[in-house]
Amino acid sequence: MAEIIVPELAESITEGEIVRWVKQVGDHVEKGEFIVELETDKVNAEIISEEAGVLTEILANEGDVVEVGAVIAKVEAGAAAAAPAPKEAPKAEEPKQEAPKAEAKPVAAPVVEETSSNERVIASPAARKLAREKGIDLAAVSPVDPQGRVRVQDVAAFGNAPVAPAAAPQQAAPKAAPAEKAVDESRVDAVKMTRRQQTAAKRLLEVSQTTAMLTTFNEIDMTNVMALRKRKKDAFQEAHDGTRLGFMSFFTKAVTAALRKYPAVNAKIVGDEIHYNKFFDIGVAVSTPDGLVVPNVRDTDRKNFAEIEASIADLATKARNKKLSLQDLEGGSFTITNGGVFGSLMSTPIINGDQAAILGMHNIVKRPIAVGDEIQLRPMMYVALSYDHRLINGKESVGFLKMVKDLIENPEDLLLEA
């Protein structure tokens, strides 16, 4: 019998929440086949079976929080004769094992139950168990899950009972908040935050409370870089296998050059030391349906424009498909976020993790600008640099942002800095 164990994912990750079981009890699995999806603080992990055989037992339900190293399922290794044989054999030969099988089936059975109204209700095994104990008709329970799955919290709230399944007494206290959720459901949809949303909220609050964060602003005349992009974008795309020339590569190269000149902006505080990074891994904020993630473009000082654009496009695709790895998210030295794609005119971005600063890009808007002795309409962008004042003084922050501005306004100078 082979055990499915929650693997070590990263040093900072000790647990995760089971999102969905891809396989159910009785299903045949191949070695290396994806059987369960786990959501951690940073990424969704696909846990595989190390053995080929039949999934005989599931020990944790969807929605359960499991620790690294925990056994969450069992596979009968080498049971290649699919599901029918294991189901019949135990009844004839080992009657004593019928009881465990009977308990395994509620966990493994499809999360569907026939109701008196002949409807089929999607529900987790724990929710069905609690509903039976309380005599609750699942068809009457309104799930908060957007996909319509009834979970144990929904049943508990419906019956005004605390969530206290015997298998997880330790989780009763944190989940004893149904009383706070006693809201008018005709006016309010109460949806529990995902694990990743909770982690992001906690870390953003920590950053604001543990850093001396300050923001400085400037504005950039985008005329020259827009003209250059317009002239070169078709040839660029053709020369680089369809990779598009966007503004992010210009800003990434400008930031990299400015970080070389102002190393404190590329540093971080560790205990009572300042660690000046000798590498340039730039995080690029990407919006996904599950929230904002910040994967890193590695070694931007060694990449050309096409390599940077290709890296950003690849990371954005992986983020939206939930395929980012922990390596994609860890170890960045500086972050760029572009609220302009959503129409933001100005903002004060929050520093990412233990980094020293973050650059915020914004919407490009035509405004009247003094050019020499004339007033002209120019495409202008406000930029913001939020920074940790414990590390970076005012002169460095203003100088850094001014250098980024100068390089974008004179994009040919980026060739000299590359």
Q: In 142-194, where does DSSP find H-type helix?
A: 152-158
Residues 6+ apart with CB under 8 A from 370: none
First and final C-alpha spacing in the chain:
57
The catalytic residue positions are 337, 389
Residues 6+ apart with CB under 8 A from 292: 200, 285, 286, 337
Contact in structure between 320 and 335 (CB atoms under 8 Å)? no
Which region holds residue 271: left if phi is over 0, alpha if psi is between -120 and 50, else beta? Answer: left
DSSP 8-state secondary structure symbol assigned to residue 123: B
- The secondary structure element, H or E, covering residue 338 is strand 334-338
Contact in structure between 226 and 389 (CB atoms under 8 Å)? no
Q: In 97-212, where does DSSP find H-type helix?
A: 98-108, 125-134, 152-158, 195-210
- The secondary structure element, H or E, covering residue 214 is strand 213-221
Please give the Cα distance from 193 to 153 (Å, whole number): 13
In 6-133, the DSSP E strands lie at: 15-21, 28-29, 34-39, 44-48, 53-58, 65-67, 71-77, 112-114, 120-122
| Buried-state track 26-37, b at ≥16 Cβ within 10 A, e below 16 | bbbbeeebebbb
Number of helices (H) and strands (E), helices first, in the chain?
11, 21
Q: In 149-288, where does DSSP find H-type helix?
A: 152-158, 195-210, 223-239, 248-261
Residue type, position 175, single letter: K
User: What six digits make up the tokens of 319?
Assistant: 């983020």
Which region holds residue 247: left if phi is over 0, alpha if psi is between -120 and 50, else beta? Answer: alpha
